[in-house]
């Protein structure tokens, strides 16, 4: 006897047995049911479900011993998540019910079977985005794909500043992979920014102020860059 499965059903089949005029089947916890053919399908199953079917061949003299075959439906797609730092991204996923193997693929690469449930891509540039697809599999086949996109933390912004006699304005260009920025005057208390400039007004002449700036995204914050500027002397 053999069996095949997809995501929600299992079909068992067996060849004709010499001298047999009838067949019957039974699951592990069910009564025998006589069959009119040599196939049996169990439908509406959950992904990753294992079922065991027993089969006997019979004729007027009685029933044979049983043969059996366990089969497992294709697993559900794993739920993938990822974390990143400045130069690497790591994807992880929990065990999928009924899965005995996993495989991964980047957007631009073929599938590679995995021995574990993590995948790390290293030596990346700051602000790099990568997409990973993951499938769970067993003897019946491979699940649908799940995927997760992660971006390494951005590089530090390049901060510059200009001043007048009473104000200082700091600016910085957009940073690749950054979706937000934050600033600090002391390097420890941070304020998130909606723009790429910061002005401090009402200063006395010859006053020096330093601003620290970090670029960030969902993976975290970059290291800091800073710029110190001094307001001009009165009369200049």
CATH for 197: 2.60.40.10
Residue 147's nearest CA partner among 165, 161, 133 is: 133
Task: Note the maximum CA span of the chain.
Answer: 119
The DSSP bridge pattern shows strands 50-59 and 67-72 to be antiparallel
Q: Which pLDDT value is given to residue 103?
A: 97
Q: Which pLDDT value is given to residue 30?
A: 86
Give the chain's domain count: 3
Asked whether residue 235 is assigned to any structural domain, the reply reads no
Residue 94's nearest CA partner among 111, 107, 112, 81 is: 81
Question: Do 94 and 130 reside in the same domain of the chain?
Answer: yes
Asked whether residue 146 is assigned to any structural domain, the reply reads yes
Q: Mind listing the pLDDT tens digit for each residue in 140-172?
A: 999 999 999 999 999 999 999 999 999 999 999
CA angle 123, 125, 126 (to 5 degrees): 125
pTM assigned to the model: 0.82
Domain endpoint, select from 107, 130, 151: 151
Question: Do 127 and 176 reside in the same domain of the chain?
Answer: no
Q: Mind listing the pLDDT tens digit for each residue in 193-211?
A: 989 999 999 999 999 999 9
Asked whether residue 131 is assigned to any structural domain, the reply reads yes
Domain endpoint, select from 151, 183, 209: 151
Question: Do 11 and 49 reside in the same domain of the chain?
Answer: yes
Q: Which pLDDT value is given to residue 107?
A: 82
Average pLDDT, the chain: 95
Give me the percent of the chain exceeding a pLDDT of 70: 99
Q: Has residue 223 got a pLDDT over 50?
A: yes
**Host domain of residue 142:** 81-151
Residue 143's nearest CA partner among 52, 42, 8, 10 is: 8
The model's confidence at residue 236, banded by pLDDT at 50, 70 and 90, is very low
Mean pLDDT of 45-52: 96
Going 93 to 131 to 108 to 85, the CA torsion angle's sign is negative
Asked whether residue 127 is assigned to any structural domain, the reply reads yes
Q: Which pLDDT value is given to residue 109?
A: 87
Q: Label residue 38 left, alpha or beta by phi (over 0 means left) and psi (-120 to 50 means alpha).
A: alpha
Question: Do 42 and 85 reside in the same domain of the chain?
Answer: no
Domain endpoint, select from 72, 92, 118: 72
The model's confidence at residue 186, banded by pLDDT at 50, 70 and 90, is confident
Asked whether residue 109 is assigned to any structural domain, the reply reads yes
Question: Do 87 and 133 reside in the same domain of the chain?
Answer: yes
Q: Mind listing the pLDDT tens digit for each residue in 66-87?
A: 999 999 999 999 999 999 999 9
Asked whether residue 236 is assigned to any structural domain, the reply reads no
Question: Do 54 and 107 reside in the same domain of the chain?
Answer: no
Q: Mind listing the pLDDT tens digit for each residue in 168-184?
A: 999 999 999 999 999 99
The model's confidence at residue 235, banded by pLDDT at 50, 70 and 90, is low
17: which 2 tokens? 């047995």
11 contacts 5 by C-beta, under 8 angstroms: yes
Question: Do 202 and 171 reside in the same domain of the chain?
Answer: yes
């Amino acid at each position: 006897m053999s069996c095949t499965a997809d995501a929600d059903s299992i079909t068992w089949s067996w060849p004709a047995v010499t001298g047999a005029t009838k067949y019957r089947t039974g699951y592990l916890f069910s009564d025998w049911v006589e069959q009119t053919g040599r196939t049996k399908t169990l439908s509406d199953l959950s992904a990753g479900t294992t079922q065991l079917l027993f089969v006997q061949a019979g004729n007027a003299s009685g029933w044979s011993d049983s043969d059996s075959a366990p089969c497992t439906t294709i697993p559900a797609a794993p739920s993938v998540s990822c974390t990143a730092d400045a130069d690497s991204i790591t994807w992880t996923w929990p065990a999928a019910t009924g899965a005995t193997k996993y495989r991964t693929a980047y957007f631009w690469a073929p599938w590679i079977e995995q021995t574990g449930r993590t995948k790390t891509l290293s030596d990346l540039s700051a602000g790099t985005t990568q997409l990973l697809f993951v499938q769970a599999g067993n003897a019946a086949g491979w699940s649908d794909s799940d995927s997760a996109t992660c971006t390494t933390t951005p590089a530090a912004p390049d901060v510059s500043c200009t001043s007048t006699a009473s104000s200082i304005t700091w600016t910085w260009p957009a940073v690749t992979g950054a979706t937000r920025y934050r600033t600090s005057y002391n390097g420890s208390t941070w304020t998130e920014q909606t723009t790429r400039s910061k002005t401090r007004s009402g200063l006395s002449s010859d006053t020096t102020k330093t601003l620290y700036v970090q670029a960030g995204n969902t993976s975290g914050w970059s290291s800091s860059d800073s710029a110190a500027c001094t307001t001009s002397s009165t009369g200049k």
